[in-house]
Amino acid sequence: MTTTTNVIMAPVLPQLSSYDGRTSCADFLTRFVLLGDVSGWDDTKRASYFSLYLKGTAQNWYVSYISDRETRGITTKPTWTELKDAFRVAFKSKLSEEELEQRILERKKGEDENISDYYYGILRLCSKADKKMSEEKKIKFLLKGMSPKLTLEVYNTEPKDTQAVLDYLERREKFDFLIGRQVDKDKRNKKTDEQIAGVVKNMQGFQSALDKMASRFAKLRVNQVNTKTTGRSYGTHQHKRENTEPRGSRPTVLGPYNRRPKPPDQTTTGERLCYNCGKPGHYAKDCKAPKKKKDKENIPPNEESGQEN
């Protein structure tokens, strides 16, 4: 025979920082009530779960509070209203009204802070200092934390309540956002124009360099043509020489680079030829034909020394 046991599961509670009684209880109560509203708790569940979010001094206070009720003969559990009122009396704000107002005056709007965050932050501090604070005083605290320029703008609108201040600040924030986007767009366009101008300038410089290089190559080409015409070349420097004399008036000077072609020294059958007359059958020293004028630059060394081939 099997037996079944009923297991009672503890409720899974939403997260909330526990209260230890060292600071004002107003913030904790506000967050606890908001948590109950989101979780769908009624007053009975709020009273039941309240002690689960206490620790340290606050937890000890809760134990003493329940014991005191039992001592006075009250056996029923406290309602949420009774528990909340007793809790506020035990852990009321430790700051005086003057100290809270000083904290409000020290609250300044950050340069990049959202308007709504600043507005509701000031009203929250005002509510802590005095729940019945007048609208005029709240407006004064709101203006104190803003920059002088923004304070003057809001003051000139003559707001009648804090809502009017919020409406103006929200309109101003939207306007600043639109102007900021336009300024950013203008900066981007200016940067793009500068980049395009830089690219064009670089292209112009590159084109100028190409033109100079083309001009230099053209000059080198002309020098090469002139060198071929005059037949003179001196290393990398080439000079053009004007030829004012008619062609054929000057004798041709044979150099090492423009010798006349050497006549063949043997026939197709292998028979030696005379270097003087160019006929086979004898050598130049035995040739009976008139001797040719010797060209020392064109005669081979063996012929010049009188040696036979």
Between CA 298 and CA 57 the distance in angstroms is 127
pLDDT in tens, 225-270: 666 565 554 444 444 454 555 555 555 555 555 555 555 666 677 7
Calculate the average pLDDT of the chain. Answer: 76
pLDDT for residue 252: 54
pLDDT for residue 130: 80
Tally Cβ neighbours within 10 Å of residue 119: 19
Average pLDDT of the residues in 189-218? 77
| Contact between 297 and 259 (Cβ < 8 Å) | yes
pLDDT for residue 50: 92
Between CA 165 and CA 142 the distance in angstroms is 8
pLDDT over 70 at 12, yes or no: no
| Contact between 238 and 223 (Cβ < 8 Å) | yes
**Which residue's entry shows tokens 């606890």?**
32
Between CA 145 and CA 123 the distance in angstroms is 12
Average pLDDT of the residues in 118-138? 86
Distances in whole angstroms, Cα of residue 305 to Cα of each of 63, 295, 300, 308: 140, 13, 9, 9
| Contact between 100 and 128 (Cβ < 8 Å) | yes
Q: Is the dihedral of CA 209, 212, 218, 221 positive or negative?
A: negative
pLDDT over 50 at 75, yes or no: yes
Percent of the chain with pLDDT over 70: 70
Q: Find the range with the poorest average confidence among 115-129, 200-214, 219-233, 292-306.
A: 292-306
pLDDT in tens, 44-66: 999 999 999 999 989 999 999 99
Between CA 65 and CA 83 the distance in angstroms is 9
Q: Is 237 helix (H, G, I), strand (E, B) or coil?
A: strand
295 — pLDDT class (breaks 50, 70, 90)? low
308 — pLDDT class (breaks 50, 70, 90)? very low
Percent of the chain with pLDDT over 90: 7
Q: Which residue has the higher pLDDT, 19 or 9?
A: 19
Between CA 237 and CA 229 the distance in angstroms is 15
Between CA 282 and CA 251 the distance in angstroms is 32
Average pLDDT of the residues in 93-105? 70
Distances in whole angstroms, Cα of residue 277 to Cα of each of 63, 111, 287: 147, 113, 7
Q: At what angle do helices 135-144 and 148-156 cross, to 10 degrees?
A: 150
Which bin fits 261, alpha (ψ -120 to 50), beta or left (φ > 0)?
A: beta
pLDDT for residue 62: 92
Q: At what angle do helices 162-230 and 115-129 cross, to 10 degrees?
A: 150
Nearest to 276 by CA among 298, 252, 303: 303
Nearest to 62 by CA among 71, 50, 73, 74: 50
Between CA 230 and CA 227 the distance in angstroms is 5
42 — pLDDT class (breaks 50, 70, 90)? very high
pLDDT for residue 124: 86
pLDDT over 50 at 188, yes or no: yes
Nearest to 164 by CA among 154, 173, 150: 154
pLDDT for residue 247: 55
Average pLDDT of the residues in 127-141? 86
Q: What value, to the nearest 5°, has the Cα angle with vertex 202 and ends 197 and 203?
A: 95
pLDDT for residue 5: 53
Between CA 34 and CA 32 the distance in angstroms is 5
pLDDT for residue 63: 92
pLDDT in tens, 209-236: 888 888 888 878 777 766 656 555 444 4
Average pLDDT of the residues in 191-200? 74
